[in-house]
Structure 1
Amino acid sequence: MYRLLIVDDEYEIRNGLKNYFPWETLGFQVVQDCSNGKEALQYIDNNPVDVLLCDIKLPFMSGIEVAQTLYEQKSPITVLFLSGYRDFEYARQAIKYNVKHYLVKPTKYDELVNIFTEVKKDLDKVYREKAENDFAYYDDLVIKVKRYINDQLDIANLNEASHIVGLTPNYLSKIFKDITGINFSHYLLDVKMQKSKEYLMSTQLKTYEISDKLGYGNPKNFTRTFKKHFGMSPREFRNKKQLRS
């Protein structure tokens, strides 16, 4: 549901729009209604709003001034004007401040349905593109973290990885899990274990040497972890591979 704020100084119009139009069937929820522009901006400052349906002639601050303020703040809120004044100057100013639609009172039911159906399509497109961009950004971020792990396997850790990509450890942990489907710590362990297998199969390094290369301070911890992961000790794994070859 997209969050809709209705602003009109006439109670009957404001109440009628809020309570007697099927907003939810179109994908909108009226989160608040205000009687003037200042009240509307105060609400927006403290609450998330996706769409603003605003009368032009308002006490304290006109709808034009509200739209101008949001425009100058680079607000992503979609603004629609509602007015009883058929005035080209109002419409021109509305376009200047990126107002999407200009409705004349009394609004027709079908007109509201058509316009807000179009608004929802536009919002869906914007949010879909944003989600795709976010995914691409975080996907690149995870690739960067994986590269760090591969390059610094002996000292790699979540805190350092989060510092490299400019996120908090908790947030990086969440993003990493969302993108890869596996916890950071589990991924790090898997990389270490796969690397240990490579060392055992292709080198003559001792167990304690492999342990050191993988960042284990105590070879016993490495052996214990390897056995838990593969069901056999590093020595047993190496002997088994040598017998097969």
Structure 2
Amino acid sequence: MYKLLIADDEYEIRNGLSSYFPWEDIGFEVVGQAANGIEVLEFITDHSVDVILSDIRMPEMSGIDIAKKLFEQNSTIQIVFLSGYKDFHYAQQAINYGVKNYISKPTKYSELSSTFIRIKERLDQKPNSKVSSQQESTSDKIVETIKKYVNEHYKEASLEGASQLVHMNPYYISKYFKEKTSGNFSDYVVSIKMNKAAELLLDMKLKIYEISEMVGYSNSKNFTRSFRKHYGKTPKEYRNEE
């Protein structure tokens, strides 16, 4: 998880952003809050932070001042500004300090999500051996957990079910699984169902419609269609050849 600090002089805004947005679903952990720029600098002195989500206008020390300070320190911390329409020209100053990300107020879920997904993708590409190793280990565990869930619950396996285990939203799991395995979650579920069906077909006491139900198909025609697509033959043909 990348570490995120949220800064805004309005408590309701910073607390709302911290508490009610599913940061962990997109790879971020909120490690602190700050009411102004001075608190931001104090916090990052003692804590590791990857990204700062900050209101551009704050008392005592503004978001621009934070960006300037970090730029002078050659800091690798990325800044995302929350800015209203009236702050547009003011925000232009931040370009000189390497700030590229802006989110308009009032904050929209879709804009917040898309912005931080892009930031995570950039952070993932940074050549940091220790971080990369930790992320790879975490990725392996998540994918392993999802696959284990499908193997044990293939009959009713779903993105929603997997999401409860790895604490990610279903849409992100679908994207994440494909990114890490080069295959779709739904295709993986079907392949497990078909492999199990092939095993069950070796038991001559079981009817094909019973096997269909055992692997999660209430309609035997849909089961036959999926099986043929997977193995190139119908369940009956497969059974007769074994």
TM range (shorter): 0.5 to 0.7
Q: Which of residues 128, 147, 151 is equivalent to 1:130? A: 128
Task: Name the counterpart of 1:63.
Answer: 63
Give the match's secondary structure for 2:21: coil
1:83 Cα deviation after fit:
1.9
Aligned to 1:76: 76
Q: Which has the higher contact order (CA 8 A, sep 6+)?
A: 2
What is residue 96 of structure 1 aligned with on the other side?
A: 96
Query: What TM-score comes out, normalization by structure 2 length?
Result: 0.52
Rounded Cα–Cα distance in structure 2 between residues aligned with 1:12 and 1:118: 26
Q: Is the 8 A contact 2:3 2:29 kept in 1?
A: yes
1:112-145: CA deviation from partner (whole Å, max 9, x where unpaired): 110000000000001xx2329x99xxxxxxxxxx
- Unmatched segments (≥5 aa) in structure 2: 134-242
Question: Deviation of residue 85 (structure 1)?
Answer: 4.1
Aligned-residue CA RMSD (Å)? 1.8
Q: How many Å separate the matches in 2 of 1:9 and 1:87? A: 16
Letter in 2 for 1:102: Y
* TM-score, with length taken from structure 1: 0.51
Shift of 1:88: 3.4
Which residue matches 2:119?
119
Aligned residue number for residue 12 of structure 2: 12
State the distance in 2 between where 1:77 and 1:59 align. Answer: 21
Which residue identity is paired with 1:75? S
The answer to whether the 8 A contact 1:84-1:105 is kept is yes
Partner-residue secondary structure (3-state), 2:124: helix
Conservation of the 8 A alpha-carbon contact between 1:86 and 1:104: no
Distance across 1 between alignment mates of 2:41 and 2:15: 19
Q: Please tell me the residue identity of whatever aligns with 1:103.
A: I
Distance 1:31 1:130 in 2: 21
CA–CA distance in 1 between the matches of 2:32 and 2:96? Answer: 26
**Deviation per residue, 1:144-168 (Å, 9 max, x gap):** xxxxxxxxxxxxxxxxxxxxxxxxx
Contact 2:50–2:76 under 8 Å retained in 1: yes
> Which structure's CA Rg is the greater one?
1
**SS, match of residue 87 in structure 1:** helix
Query: How far apart in 2 are the matches of 1:13 and 1:84?
Result: 14
Q: 1:193-244, CA deviations, whole angstroms, 9 ceiling, x for partnerless residues?
A: xxxxxxxxxxxxxxxxxxxxxxxxxxxxxxxxxxxxxxxxxxxxxxxxxxxx
Tell me the equivalent position of 1:41. 41
TM-fit CA distance, 1:104: 1.3
Counterpart AA for 2:97: Y
* Structure 1 unpaired stretches of 5+: 136-245
Secondary structure of 1:75's counterpart equals: coil
Give the length in aligned residue pairs. 132
SS for the counterpart of 2:33 is strand
- SS at 1:54's partner residue? strand
Q: Does 1:30 align with 2:30?
A: yes
Deviations 1:30-55 (A, max 9, x none): 00011011011000111110000011
